[in-house]
Structure 1
Amino acid sequence: MRRILLTSICFLACTVGTQAQRGANNDWVTDNSDAQRTATIKGDAKINKDSVAKPGAVQFLWKLKLKNTPNQLNNLSAPATLERLIGYRGFRMLGFIAGSGDNLFTIDTDLGRMEWEKKLPTSSAASASTLACPGGMTTSIVRPTNSMIAAAGGGFGPGRNQPAKSTVGTPWEGAANLKDVRPTPQFAGPPPGAQQGPTRPNLPPMGGGFGGSANVIYALASDGMLHSMHLSGGQEYQPPIKFLPPGANANGLIVVNGKAFAVAANSCNGVANGLWAYDFEAKQVQTWKGEVVGSAGAAFGGDGTAYVTTKNGVTAIDPKTLEAKGSYSASGQEFSSSPVVFEFKGKTMIAAATKTGSVHLLDAGNLSAAIATTPAGKDANPNALASWQDASGTRWILAPTDKAIVAWKVVEQGGSLSLQQGWTSRELVAPLTPTIINGVVLATASGEFRTSDSKMTAAQRAARSKPAVIYALDGSTGKELWNSGTTIKSFARGNALSGGMGQFYLTTYDGTFYAFGFPMEH
Structure 2
Amino acid sequence: MGSDGFIHTLLASNGADSEPAVPFIPPNARPSSLIWVDGVVYTTTSGECGAVPSAVWAMDLTAPEKERKTVSWETRAAGIAGSGPALGTDGTVYVAVGKAAATGSRSEYADAIVALDQRILRPKDWFSAAGADFNASPIVIRDKDRDLIAATGNDGRLYVLDAASLGGSDHRTPFAVSGRYTSSGAGAALATWEEQGTRWILATAVGPPPTDVTFAANGLAPSGRVVAFKLVERGTSVALEPAWQSRDLVSPLAPVVVNGLVFAVSSGEYRPAHAGATLTADERARRSVPAVLYVLDAASGKTLWTSGTKITSFARAGLAAGAGQVYLVTYDNHLYAFGIPMEH
| TM-score (ref. length: structure 1) | 0.56
Do the aligned partners of 2:72 and 2:120 also contact (CA within 8 Å) in 1?
no
- Give the AA of the match of 2:162: D
Residues 1:404 and 2:225 are matched in the alignment: yes
Partner Cα distance (2:324, 2:131) in 1: 44
Q: Partner of 1:482: helix, strand, or coil?
A: strand
Offset, 1:507: 0.7
Identity %: 42
Residue in structure 2 matching 1:264, options 37, 45, 50: 45
Q: How does 1:88-103 map to 2 (within 5 A)?
A: none
- 1:456 deviates by 1.1
Q: Is the 8 A contact 2:55 2:80 kept in 1?
A: no
* Equivalent in 289, 301, 306 of residue 88 of structure 2: 301
Which has the bigger relative contact order, CA under 8 A and spacing at least 6?
A: 1
Q: How does 1:299-448 map to 2 (within 5 A)?
A: 299-311=86-98, 312-368=111-167, 369-376=173-180, 377-390=182-195, 392-402=196-206, 403-448=224-269
**Deviation sequence 1:77-120 (CA, Å, 0-9, x none):** xxxxxxxxxxxxxxxxxxxxxxxxxxxxxxxxxxxxxxxxxxxx
Native 8 Å contact 1:471 1:484 kept in 2 = yes
Written as runs of structure 1 = structure 2, the 5 A alignment for 1:168-183 is none
Partners of 1:278 and 1:485 in 2: CA distance: 45
By how many angstroms is 1:487 displaced? 0.6
Q: Which residue of 1 aligns with 2:316?
A: 493
Which residue of structure 1 aligns with residue 336 of structure 2?
514
Number of corresponding residues: 301
Separation in 1, partners of 2:267, 2:37: 29
Query: Residues 257 and 304 of structure 1 are in contact (CA less than 8 Å); yes or no, is this contact kept in structure 2?
Result: no
Distance 2:69 2:235 in 1: 48
Secondary structure of 1:239's counterpart equals coil
Cα distance in 2 for partners of 1:332, 1:380 equals: 13
Provide the alpha-carbon RMSD of the alignment: 1.4
Match of 1:255?
36
Which of these two proteins has the greater Rg computed from alpha carbons?
A: 1
1:434 alignment partner AA: P
Shift of 1:388: 1.0
For 2:299, give the aligned amino acid.
S
Q: Unpaired runs of 5+ in structure 2?
A: 99-110, 168-172, 207-223
User: Which stretch of structure 1 is more off in the superposition, 407-416 or 419-428?
Assistant: 407-416
The equivalent residue for 1:45 is: none
Match of 1:287?
A: 72
CA distance in 2, matches of 1:433, 1:444: 8
Contact 2:135 2:185 in 1 (8 A): no
The 1-side partners of 2:96 and 2:288 are apart by 29
Q: Which runs of 5+ in 1 are unaligned?
A: 1-219
- SS of the aligned residue for 1:471 comes to strand
Q: Which one has the bigger helix percentage?
A: 1
Residue 292 (structure 1) shift: 4.0
Equivalent residues of 2:141, 2:147 under 8 A apart: yes
- Cα distance in 1 for residues equivalent to 2:296 and 2:244: 11
Residues 266 and 454 of structure 1: is their aligned pair in 2 closer, same or farther, counting only changes over 3 Å?
Answer: farther
Q: Structure 1 residue 237: deviation in Å?
A: 1.7
Paired residue type of 2:200:
W
Distance (whole Å) between structure 1 residues aligned to residue 261 and residue 3 of structure 2: 35
- What is the deviation of 1:231? 1.3
Post-superposition shift, 1:430? 0.4
Structure 1 Cα separation of the partners of residues 286 and 9 of structure 2: 37
- Which residue does the alignment assign to 1:275? 56
**Residue 432 of structure 1 contacts residue 446 of structure 1 at CA under 8 Å; is this kept in 2?**
yes
